[in-house]
Amino acid sequence: MSVEVTADRIILQGRCGVEEAEPLLEALRQRSDRVVVIEAERLHTALWQVLMALRPVIEGRTSEPFVIQHLLPEVLDNLTKGRLAPLTGHAGAAFAQPNTGANQ
């Protein structure tokens, strides 16, 4: 299982393929205030798109430089501009958004 859904969190692990976009979308449709925790090595574009479209609160870490430098700003912008609180982590860059309840 690479998409694990709990009451208030959606945890993405391992390699999330295109087929995981649907469970992710479904989980966010049910509860838009679930925090998405990215612990995955790689997310398929389809999942990034769901995150860009629905803009949930996101936490986690990734080691992909393209994702960190160019994609994440797109996923995280608007809602949280200037409120990114970088976490220190060992597996590449980490990122988190404070869950202020301001989203959606």
Partner 1 sequence: MDELLQQFVIEALELTQQASEDLLALERDPSSRPHLESAFRAFHTLKGSVGLFDLVPMQRVLHAAEDRLSTVLKGPAAFDTGAIDPLLEILEWTESCVRQLTARGALDAGEPARASALLGALAGGPVSAGGNPEPAAPQAIPDWAKSLLDLDPSPNAVAFRYEPPAECFFSGDDPVALMASVPGIIRATIALREPWAAADILDPFRSNLIFHALSLAPQAEIEAVFRLVPDQVSIVPRPQEGLAADASIGQQQRTLRVGVEHIDRLVDGIGELLAAKNAMTALVDEAKRLPGGLPLSRSISLAQQTIDRLAGQLQRAALRVRMVPLSEVMRRLPRLVREVSGQVGKRVDLVVEGGEIEADKAIVDALYDPLLHILRNAIDHGVETPPLREQAGKPPRGTIRIVARQLGYRVELRIADDGAGVDLDRVRSIAVVQGLIDPARAAQLSAIDAHELLFLPGFSTAATLTDVSGRGVGMDAVRSAVERLGGSVDLSSERGRGTTVTLSLPLSSAMTRVMVVDAAGDRYGLPMDAISETTRIPAAAISPIRAGEAFVLRDRTVPIVRLADLLGQPRPRRDDELVLVADTGAGAVGVIVDAIGERFETVLRPPTGLMKSVPGVSGTTVLGNGKVIMILNLGALIQ
Instruction: Tell which one of 5, 35, 52, 93 touches partner 1 (CB under 8 A).
Output: 52
Burial annotation 66-99 (CB, 10 A radius, 16+ → b, else e): ebbeebbeebbeeebeeeeeeeeeeeebbbbbee
- 10 closest CA partner among 53, 54, 46, 58: 58
- Of 1 and 88, which CB lies nearer to partner 1 in the complex structure? 1
Number of residues located near partner 1, criterion CB under 8 A: 27
Instruction: Tell which one of 6, 8, 33, 45 touches partner 1 (CB under 8 A).
Output: 45
Q: Does the footprint of partner 1 cover residue 41 (CB under 8 A)?
A: no
Q: List the structure tokens of 97.
A: 């958004």
Q: Does the footprint of partner 1 cover residue 81 (CB under 8 A)?
A: no
Residue 92 beta carbon to partner 1: minimum distance, rounded to whole angstroms: 12
What are the two backbone dihedrals, phi and then psi, of residue 20, each rounded to the nearest 5 degrees? -80, -10
Instruction: Tell which one of 6, 8, 18, 85 touches partner 1 (CB under 8 A).
Output: 18
- 12 closest CA partner among 56, 72, 55, 59: 59
Where does this chain bind partner 1 (CB under 8 A)? 18, 21-22, 24-25, 28-29, 32, 42-46, 48-50, 52-54, 64-67, 69-71, 74
